[in-house]
Each structure stands twice: as C-alpha cells, then as structure tokens.
Amino acid sequence: MSTQPIETGVIASHAAAPGTAHGAAHGAAHGTDRVYGRHLRVLLALWVVLLLFPWLAPSSYVVGLGVTFFINLILVASLNLLMGYCGQISLCHSGFFGLGAYVSGVLSAKYGVPVPASMACALALTALASVLVGLPALRLRGHYLAMATLGLNAILSVLFVELVGLTGGPNGLSNVPPIGMAGYSLDSDTGYFYFAWAVGLLTMWGILNLVHSRVGRAMSSLVDSEIGAASLGVDTRSLKVAVFAISATLAALAGTLYVHYAQFASPETFNFSASVLLVVIVAVGGWGKYWGPLFGALVFTAVPEILLAFPDLQLLLFGLGMIVVLVCFPGGIAGACTRAAAALARRRKPAGEAVGARRSQHG
C-alpha cells in the first residue's frame, strides 16, 4: 500500500512523456539491479573468505574476536537500517540489545527453556515492545524523537538493575547456557564462529533485499523528505513503525547471540553510553551505506583491543579517532571508499579512451 502511489507516479510520468520517462525508469531499474548484483557478489565472496578465519587465527581468543565482530555487525546494521536508510534517530538501541540478551538469558538460565525457544521469545517480545513504543514515539521528529528513545533506554537500564531476582541486578546474569540444537552444543569458539557467520550472512542478505525493494525505496523517500513521501501516498507512520520494529528485533538477535556466547550479561553493557557509542559507530562506518556496518563493526571490535595497550588513554584516543574520521570523512569509511573507487574509475576512463583512440588511428 505504501509504495503503490510511487509506482502510480511513475506511470503518470510515462503518460506525460512516454519515451523519456520509460527510458529513465528502465535505466534506473537496470542501475538498481546492477548495484544489487554487485553487492551480492561481493558479500558472498567476502563471506567465503571469512570461512577461513578460524583456521588462520593464531589463537581461540582471536577466533572469539571474530564472533564478537559478527555480533557487532548485526547490531550496527540494525541501527543503520533505521537511522541511515529511514532517517529516524534512536538512542535506545543498546536497550533493545539488552532486552534480547536478558529475556533469552533469563528464560534459559532461570526457567530451563530450550535456547532456540528462549531466543525466539526474546525476538518476539522485543518486536512487540518496539511496536508499542514506536506507535506513539514515532509521531515525534528530530530532537523530540531522540529524547523519547533516550527515555526508553533509561527505563530498560533501570529494569535490568532493579529486577534482581531475574537479572541478577548489578552483579549481572550468570550461568547462561550456550546455544544447543539437536544434541549439539556450540560451546567452542570455532563452532560459535560459524553459527554467527551464518546469522551475519543472512542478516546482510536480508537487508540488501529490503533496501533494494519497493519498501526500501519508500524508506529512502523518508530520508529525503517525510512530507514529500507522504504527498506521494506513502504511509509514513506505518513504515516508520515497521522499520523501527525490524531494527529493534535485529538488535535483540544480536543480544541473544551475545548472551549465549558470553554466558553472562551485565547491565553496564546496555546503558545509555552504549547507545550513544552505537550512533557514533554507525556514523564512522557510513550513514545509509550498505557496507557501513561492516566497517563500523570492524572499528567497534578492533580499536578497543588495539587500545588495550594504553589503558589510561583508551577513551581519549578512541574519542579523538572518532572525531578525526567524522570530520575528515563525513560519509564515513564506506563513503570514503566509494569516493576513492569513483575517482580511480574516472582516472582509468580517460586512459582507456586514449588507448582506444590510438588503436583506431593505427587501424
């Protein structure tokens, strides 16, 4: 329903200028398919290469960092979907991350619920909570929406600490079982790596399909102008709530993967500061860029490990590094890579044309 008026607008343009409009629409569709195909090929090739990571890693600790990378990738990609592709500000994403972790962890550790069922319950509860919160909150815009989501994160943070009987309070939730299916338990770093690898691939593939669909084009219209999107007939409120729910559910998925890998959850991991850091990481990776979460997750995982050698200056150096990236590369690392690739292509094109001209002269 939300995107049908957009198609109608295209049809109207065809009626106004059949040849030109048809050629433009066909060219745009062909360009979109080409971008989709290129992203899909790179994604599959990259994930095939990542299959070798556990064999090349020098220790199980490094393999564990690979698991953390995939969890961070899903988390950053979920927020990029909402903020980068839909233009909606959220400061409660670490709260959804924690909600997924605590619900799945409590159900499996306290009540003996099988882990796959506890993970499914966590995703369903987070999706429901996000819809109930999103219906009133997403009527707001800009700073007001940011404050509303900030309030939700504060509420969840308090619940994680105060529900001591369930969450363990400030001491955290412990004795969380690892993921187990069909009698097989993913209690090794390598086994969990391949599970997180598969979930990460499905997440990135799903987002790729979503952003290149009719719904994705409607999302992009929200970023440009919500009023303009509404004037085209897009049901902006329903679209925003739906994307908010998908984004929150993906964050909860990352939370369930985290808690069953670490087998522990602490409320400090899901506080307001973590939500702000996530927003910064999305910006560093690249707002609304498909590969932005990949770079963001890499920074989110690797940089704190590198800075462990400077414990007293860790936060200062990390903050300065983020400022430098954001100032020098407004489009994030992914945007900088895109511009560099485009500049390289422009430099190669004149050289290729010159070679072609010389060959035609000799011919």
End-to-end CA distance of the chain: 58
Q: Domains in the chain: how many in total? A: 1
pLDDT of residue 17: 44
Residue 216 lies in a domain: yes
pLDDT of residue 23: 47
Tokens of 9: 């607008």
What φ, ψ does residue 180 adopt, rounded to 5°?
Answer: -135, 135
Residue 149 lies in a domain: yes
pLDDT of residue 358: 57
Tokens of 115: 């882990």
pLDDT of residue 225: 78
- Contact yes or no for 304/84 (Cβ under 8 A): no
173: containing domain? 59-356
80 contact partners, CB below 8 Å, separation of at least 6: 282, 285, 287, 288, 289, 292, 293, 296
Angle value at C-alpha 146, between 145 and 150, nearest 5 degrees = 115
Q: Which long-range contacts (CB under 8 A, 24 or more apart) does 21-25 make?
A: none
pLDDT tens, the chain, 363 aa long: 444 333 334 333 334 444 444 444 445 555 677 888 899 999 999 999 999 999 999 999 999 999 999 999 999 999 999 998 988 888 999 999 999 999 999 999 999 999 999 999 999 999 999 999 888 887 777 777 888 888 899 999 999 999 999 999 999 999 999 998 767 778 889 999 999 999 999 999 999 999 999 988 888 888 877 788 888 888 888 888 999 999 999 999 999 999 999 999 999 999 888 898 899 899 989 988 999 999 999 999 998 888 887 777 767 777 787 788 778 887 888 888 888 888 887 887 665 555 455 555 554
Residue 72 lies in a domain: yes
pLDDT of residue 21: 40
Please list the alpha-helical segments (H only) found in 84-180: 93-110, 115-137, 142-162, 164-167
pLDDT of residue 351: 54
Residue 301 lies in a domain: yes
- Contact yes or no for 199/62 (Cβ under 8 A): no
pLDDT of residue 8: 37
Q: What is the CATH number of the domain that holds 101?
A: 1.10.3470
pLDDT of residue 187: 80
Closest CA relative to residue 6, chosen from 268, 219, 289: 219
Q: Which long-range contacts (CB under 8 A, 24 or more apart) does 151-154 make?
A: 152/92, 152/95, 153/91, 153/92, 153/93, 153/94, 153/95, 153/271, 153/272, 153/275, 154/272
Give the whole-angstrom CA distance, residue 110 versus residue 125: 17
Residue 267 lies in a domain: yes
Residue 17 lies in a domain: no
- Contact yes or no for 287/332 (Cβ under 8 A): yes
180 contact partners, CB below 8 Å, separation of at least 6: 114, 115, 186
Residue 40 lies in a domain: no
Residue 327 lies in a domain: yes
